[in-house]
């Protein structure tokens, strides 16, 4: 029997404010435990929360980035539960009256374009952190009251690949719009997928489980794959899936039950009496819209139209705002959009991956790369030399011309000089020459390779091809 997978996703993205959502404590990451706390975020009796306006500004941006409808009025609600790292005994969240609803993103997965609907977006506060040590548990309340943007999808995802594509897309949209750093390692972008399986073409939903503790996109993919396999295994044996929350163990590569899943009733939601309803009117939204940047999906589409590059490359080049800016700045200095798209997605990203750096940290700036392309275009250097020069540019942070003169890296374009090299290669390889005349024409490439090697990569390949062909013809006639 075939099975179908249905995945819904809940994301918590940390809004990039300097201070917390209901008090003025710092949101600094990595501070000593319990230094960014005050009576409000510690939930002392008698204190009152005050909503941080910047949180709302960023949430408006986030809702616009996911093309959602911002509700004119939303309300905060108390979600009660007891946990050592939640000193108030409840989390201020939103429940029936969400901040925004009905958004969507378009994802590209396995060569298919698909619309994933976003059901709602809520504002809420984070809890603290329990640190489990050998014989004791400690709590750090620095994270209490950090503003979170909760994003819940409709169950539109049907595979781990789609789930990952969705997360990448949402992350890119939020980062572009400056809503969140979405740094997964710092816990600024967390996701909890829920997953169920059912026999293909059935219209009844299966029992779902929720996965927690997925700290990277790889973990999301592996965790989901594990859980889907487990559920299908149960159904095949005629057993039932139990609704529960599972904790992914990246080391063991398996998920273990954490607790049975709470239902909404368990949280005893009620409207937060200490906060007035949040009113976001049209002028406020319009004001935020004014300084929204071009969103990455729009930008990728424009790249394809304006620069005639492949959609895949456009996706890669718009993966971060900084990379897309880098590309466009370089085109502005040397107009070769296709050549530069190829170069950036292979050489530039390859170098960045190898060194583990970001585009902001890359020392080869757009003006340096444009200069390199000028030199290729005027025939001073070939592509092979350019690769070597690029690495030097990236190490030293200087332009291509400096490296060329420093290393004496000029392309050999002198026909006499090239002819001498070619004649030497031919006389050094008499057997290959004979076999070439005997019909083994593929050896032409071998001769070119030998000449390039003899020139230590500096020969102009186009001229080598021309002169070599001419010389082989002359010698044949002899």
Closest approach, Cβ 124 to Mn ion, in A, equals: 5
Q: How far apart are CA 306 and CA 80, in angstroms?
A: 52
Handedness of CA 336, 397, 400, 387 (dihedral sign): negative
DSSP state of 261: P
Q: How far apart are CA 170 and CA 280, in angstroms?
A: 23
Contact 267, 79 (CB under 8 A): yes
Contact region for Zn ion (CB under 5 A) — 39-47, 82-90, 371-379, 429-437?
A: 39-47
Contact region for Zn ion (CB under 5 A) — 16-24, 83-91, 160-168, 297-305?
A: 16-24
User: Which does residue 364 bind out of Zn ion, Mn ion, none, counting CB within 5 to 8 angstroms by kind?
Assistant: none
- Retrieve residue 280's tokens: 């976001």
The Cβ of residue 351 has, within 10 Å, a number of other Cβ atoms equal to 18
User: Which does residue 150 bind out of Mn ion, Zn ion, none, counting CB within 5 to 8 angstroms by kind?
Assistant: Mn ion
Closest approach, Cβ 235 to Mn ion, in A, equals: 30
Interacting residues toward Mn ion by CB under 5 A: 150
Residue whose CB is less far from Mn ion, 54 or 150: 150
Site string for Zn ion, 19-38 (x = CB under 5 A): ----x-x------------x
Beta bridge partners of 129: 140
C-alpha atoms less than 13 angstroms from C-alpha of 137 in its C-beta half-sphere: 8
E strand or H helix at 197: strand 189-199
Residue whose CB is less far from Mn ion, 166 or 307: 166
Residue whose CB is less far from Zn ion, 23 or 464: 23
Residue whose CB is less far from Zn ion, 36 or 78: 36
Closest approach, Cβ 23 to Zn ion, in A, equals: 3
Residue whose CB is less far from Mn ion, 121 or 317: 121
Residue whose CB is less far from Mn ion, 150 or 301: 150
Among 41, 105, 228, 403, binds Zn ion (CB under 5 A): 41
Number of residues that bind Zn ion (CB under 5 A): 5
Closest approach, Cβ 10 to Mn ion, in A, equals: 7
User: Which does residue 249 bind out of Zn ion, Mn ion, none, counting CB within 5 to 8 angstroms by kind?
Assistant: none
Closest approach, Cβ 140 to Zn ion, in A, equals: 13
Q: From its phi and psi, is residue 73 left (phi > 0), alpha (psi between -120 and 50) or beta? A: beta
Residue whose CB is less far from Zn ion, 40 or 433: 40
Closest approach, Cβ 38 to Zn ion, in A, equals: 3
Residue, CB closest to Mn ion: 150
Q: Which residues contact 80 (CB under 8 A, 6 or more apart)?
A: 89, 90, 267, 268, 269
Q: How far apart are CA 470 and CA 55, in angstroms?
A: 71
User: Which does residue 38 bind out of Zn ion, Mn ion, none, counting CB within 5 to 8 angstroms by kind?
Assistant: Zn ion
Contact 7, 155 (CB under 8 A): yes
Residue 51 makes contact with Zn ion by CB under 5 A: no
Closest approach, Cβ 390 to Zn ion, in A, equals: 49
Closest approach, Cβ 16 to Zn ion, in A, equals: 18
Nearest to 108 by CA among 176, 173, 175, 162: 162
Closest approach, Cβ 146 to Mn ion, in A, equals: 12
User: Which does residue 241 bind out of Mn ion, Zn ion, none, counting CB within 5 to 8 angstroms by kind?
Assistant: none
Residue whose CB is less far from Zn ion, 49 or 399: 49
C-alpha atoms less than 13 angstroms from C-alpha of 426 in its C-beta half-sphere: 22
Residue 67: phi and psi, rounded to 5, are 55, 45
Helices (runs of H) and strands (runs of E) counted in the chain? 16, 16
Nearest to 223 by CA among 38, 7, 35, 397: 7
Contact 166, 14 (CB under 8 A): no
User: Which does residue 25 bind out of Mn ion, Zn ion, none, counting CB within 5 to 8 angstroms by kind?
Assistant: Zn ion
Positions 159 through 218 that interact with Zn ion (CB under 5 A): none
Kindly give the pairing relationship between strand 209-212 and strand 189-199: antiparallel
Residue whose CB is less far from Mn ion, 86 or 400: 86
User: Which does residue 421 bind out of Mn ion, Zn ion, none, counting CB within 5 to 8 angstroms by kind?
Assistant: none
Q: Is 275 helix (H, G, I), strand (E, B) or coil?
A: coil
Residue whose CB is less far from Zn ion, 25 or 86: 25
Residue whose CB is less far from Mn ion, 150 or 250: 150
DSSP state of 459: B
Beta bridge partners of 139: 130
Closest approach, Cβ 31 to Mn ion, in A, equals: 23
User: Which does residue 23 bind out of Zn ion, Mn ion, none, counting CB within 5 to 8 angstroms by kind?
Assistant: Zn ion
Q: How far apart are CA 466 and CA 450, in angstroms?
A: 15
Contact 143, 127 (CB under 8 A): yes
Q: Point out which residues bind Zn ion (CB under 5 A).
A: 23, 25, 38, 40-41
């Amino acid at each position: 029997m075939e099975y179908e997978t249905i995945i819904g996703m809940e994301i918590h993205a940390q809004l990039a404010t300097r201070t917390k959502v209901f008090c003025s404590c710092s949101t600094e990451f990595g501070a000593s435990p319990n230094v960014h706390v005050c009576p409000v975020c510690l939930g002392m009796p008698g204190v009152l929360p005050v909503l941080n306006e910047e949180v709302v500004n960023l949430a408006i941006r986030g809702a616009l980035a996911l093309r959602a409808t911002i509700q004119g009025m939303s309300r905060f609600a108390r979600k009660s539960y007891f946990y050592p790292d939640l000193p108030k005994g409840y989390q201020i969240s939103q429940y029936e009256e969400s901040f925004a609803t009905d958004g969507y993103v378009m994802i590209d997965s396995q060569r298919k374009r698909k619309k994933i609907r976003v059901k709602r977006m809520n504002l809420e506060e984070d809890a603290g952190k329990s640190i489990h040590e050998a014989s004791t548990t400690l709590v750090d309340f620095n994270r209490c009251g950090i503003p979170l943007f909760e994003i819940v999808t409709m169950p539109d995802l049907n595979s781990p690949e789609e789930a990952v594509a969705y997360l990448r897309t949402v992350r890119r949209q939020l980062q572009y719009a400056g809503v969140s750093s979405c740094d997964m390692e710092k816990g600024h972008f967390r996701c909890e997928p829920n997953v169920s399986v059912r026999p293909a073409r059935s219209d009844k939903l299966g029992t779902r489980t929720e996965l927690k503790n997925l700290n990277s996109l790889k973990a999301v993919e592996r965790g989901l794959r594990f859980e889907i396999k487990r559920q299908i295994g149960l159904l095949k044996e005629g057993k039932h899936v139990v609704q529960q929350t599972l904790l992914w163990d990246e080391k063991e590569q398996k998920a273990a039950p954490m607790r049975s899943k709470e239902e909404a009733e368990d949280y005893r939601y009620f409207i937060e009496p200490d906060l007035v309803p949040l009113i976001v009117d049209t002028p406020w939204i319009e004001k935020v819209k004014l300084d929204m940047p071009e969103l990455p999906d729009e930008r990728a589409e424009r790249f394809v139209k304006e620069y005639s590059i492949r959609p895949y490359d456009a996706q890669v080049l718009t993966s971060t705002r900084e990379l897309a800016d880098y590309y466009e700045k370089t085109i502005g200095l040397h107009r070769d959009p296709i050549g530069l798209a190829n170069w950036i997605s292979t050489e530039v990203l390859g170098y960045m991956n190898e060194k583990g750096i970001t585009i902001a940290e890359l020392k080869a700036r757009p003006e340096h790369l444009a200069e390199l392309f000028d030199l290729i275009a005027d025939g001073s250097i070939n592509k092979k030399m350019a690769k070597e020069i690029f690495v030097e540019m990236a190490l030293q942070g200087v332009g291509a011309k400096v490296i060329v003169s420093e290393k004496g890296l000029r392309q050999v374009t002198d026909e006499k000089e090239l002819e001498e090299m070619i004649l030497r290669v031919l006389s050094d390889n008499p057997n290959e020459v004979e076999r070439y005349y005997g019909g083994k024409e593929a050896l032409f490439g071998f001769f070119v390779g030998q000449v390039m090697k003899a020139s230590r990569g500096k020969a102009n390949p186009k001229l080598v091809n021309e002169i070599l062909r001419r010389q082989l013809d002359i010698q044949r006639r002899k």
